[in-house]
Amino acid sequence: MNCYAAARHLIDSAHSGDPKRPDGRPAELVYADRIEAWLVRLEPTASQLLRLAARCQHLERWTVPRTSYPQGRTGYLAWRKNLYGKQADRARELLLEAGVDEREADNVATWVSKIGLKANPNTQLLEDAACLVFLENEIGSFATQHADYPREKFLEIIRKTWRKMSPSARHSAKGVSISPGITELVNEALQDLDA
């Protein structure tokens, strides 16, 4: 087994610890598959290293629940920032354990931690894949879980997601199948943005 295959095995083993199993599989493993699939759709020649980074986007996220931070925007931002660092450190650790070169492991940690978003093409590519997974697979359940949010808050979440994406990811997002109720919100959110 080469170092990349060994790293993939270690990453997926870590994902297997996720206690959430909505369809019988660990939720993190399902998410990793979705992120990697979008990454390859956006960049068919993506390196093995970039594909591993995609699989690390939510690495052991379940160990730091959102409820462990205060409610509200400040608490959310602190939680998210902590996760980026934790996931990046864990990804680097697993890649080094698998025998991946230190420089490559550092690159993965940079991409996973969202450093250089918009400036680093690999960081941006991972963000694009994450946004597309959100729009394709998660936005409906997110809306259900947060039914108490005012409409304007949902619209702003969609706008922020759109702004984070590259032009090619935005183009891909137009082909994503979204439930009718959510499609209406997306269309409303984007009508004033450059699509």
Give the tens place of pLDDT for each residue, 93-120. Answer: 999 999 999 999 999 999 999 998 889 9
The first and second tokens of residue 165, run together, are 């994406």
Clarify whether residues 8 and 41 are in a common domain. yes
Q: Do 64 and 86 meet the contact criterion of CB atoms below 8 Å apart?
A: yes
> What does pTM read for this prediction?
0.91
Clarify whether residues 130 and 74 are in a common domain. no
> 194 or 116: whose pLDDT is higher?
116
Name the residue with tokens 């997002």: 173
Clarify whether residues 110 and 139 are in a common domain. no
Clarify whether residues 43 and 86 are in a common domain. yes
The first and second tokens of residue 134, run together, are 């959100």
Q: Is 37 exposed, middle or buried (0-12, 13-18, 19+ CB in 10 A)?
A: middle
pLDDT over 50 at 195, yes or no: no
Alpha carbon 123 to chain centroid distance?
11
pLDDT over 60 at 194, yes or no: no
pLDDT over 90 at 182, yes or no: no
Provide the domain count of the chain: 2
Which residue, 59, 82, 115, sits at the end of a domain? 115
Give the tens place of pLDDT for each residue, 130-174. Answer: 999 999 998 888 888 888 888 888 889 989 999 999 999 999 998
The candidate with the shortest Cα–Cα distance to 94, out of 35, 27, 30, 17, is 17
